[in-house]
A and B are shown apart, each in its own frame.
Chain A
Amino acid sequence: MKLLTAISLSLLISSAQAFTAPRRVQRSVSLYAAEGEEKAVAMVSGEDLELLLQNMEQPLVVDAYATWCGPCLLMAPEFEQAAQELKGKVKFVKLDTDQEEEMASRLNIMGLPTLLFLDKYQDDENPDARAVLKGRIEGAMQKKSILDLVEHYFFDGPAPQLF
């Protein structure tokens, strides 16, 4: 299998917290999709992700998380809701960094959770390249912030104010 090729870093954003709303967290939203509703977020292995990056059909958002990461838990339902809203338009996946250490290391994951925004890449100068990293961000965030970032990185939306 071909190794991961030509992911070019166009932007690096790091943050600790991206929530701006002063509301208190409510555990009223289930961690997964509503009962009976199919999950929009797929869990992927390193191999799965590599295949996805080789065959980019739509923009991709990767949530790199770990089992005992509290903020990852906090963000999980928000990520799922964002995925439900953009079903068919943007693909959302999660990568367990405890299980997929090699891929996590390749992706230069540090703080958790980290969101990676990847899009199709087409360049005559680099015909083997398939995907480009449009942006990355660390820290838990609300659905609205995730959607704003998707709009910005994939659909020419304005840069969101996350602080």
Chain B
Amino acid sequence: MKSTILLLLFVESTTAFIVSPNTIRQSVSLRKKYEDMDEEEKAVALEKATKAMTAFTNKYLENTCTKLCSDKSVPAVVIKGLAEHKLTLGAPLCPCRFYDDKEAEAKDGYWNCPCVPMRERHECHCMLFLTEDNAFVGEETSITYEEVIEGSNIQF
């Protein structure tokens, strides 16, 4: 009996490493590059990235004791920009700067959110993480995904 159980456990553990062809195909599609995705896949990826950056923002606000701008469309737009960069560049490069070479900057890391000025001095040029002495600081320390979508739906 014991040996049968041990044998079954052994078989189960070894077959865990054997994946079905369907699983392999699914794993490959999850690692697809953003530019190779179709529109539906891009929309799903963008939603996922936006939710991730929203969660990161809320956590970092808490960690740094900073607050959001009183006008929540400002952080909404920035979070959307961070999500876009995360998808296209592989890193949440600061969307409030112009770069001659975005790919190089994303690899370098200085301006990947949270950028070095923010980490060292709590200076956020994007007005995403505001200290109490900022003229535009609000009272809120979190933003929802729905607020990000609503606030970033603005045309210049």
Chain A positions near chain B (C-beta within 8 angstroms): 16-17, 19-27, 31, 43, 64-74, 76, 94, 96-97, 101, 104-105, 109-112, 138-140
Contacts and interface: CB of A to CB of B under 8 A. Distances in A.
Q: Which 5 A/B pairs are nearest by Cβ-Cβ distance?
A: A68-B81, A70-B74, A68-B95, A25-B71, A70-B78
Contacts, number: 97
Contacts of B64: none
B7 to A, nearest CB: 58
Given A17-B134, A19-B136, A31-B156, A69 B71 contact: no
A70 B97 CA distance: 11
A112 B80 contact: no
Nearest to B128: A70
Interface stretch (B9-17, B19-27, B37-45, B119-127): B119-127
Chief secondary structure at chain A's binding surface: loop
B49 interface: no
B125 A76 contact: no
B135 A21 contact: yes
B154 A25 contact: no
B156 A71 contact: no
Contact of A67 (B76, B81, B127): B81
A17 B134 CA distance: 9
A70 B127 contact: yes
A73 B125 contact: no
B154 A64 contact: no
B70 A71 contact: no
Contacts of B87: none
A73 B97 contact: no
A31 B136 CA distance: 18
A31 B155 CA distance: 8
B96 A112 contact: yes
A105 B126 contact: no
A17 to B, nearest CB: 7
A64 B78 contact: no
A100 to B, nearest CB: 10
Q: Which of B70, B97, B128, B155 has the most CB of A within 10 A?
A: B97
Contacts of A101: 98
B106 interface: no
B127 A71 contact: yes
B96 A69 contact: yes
B98 A70 contact: no
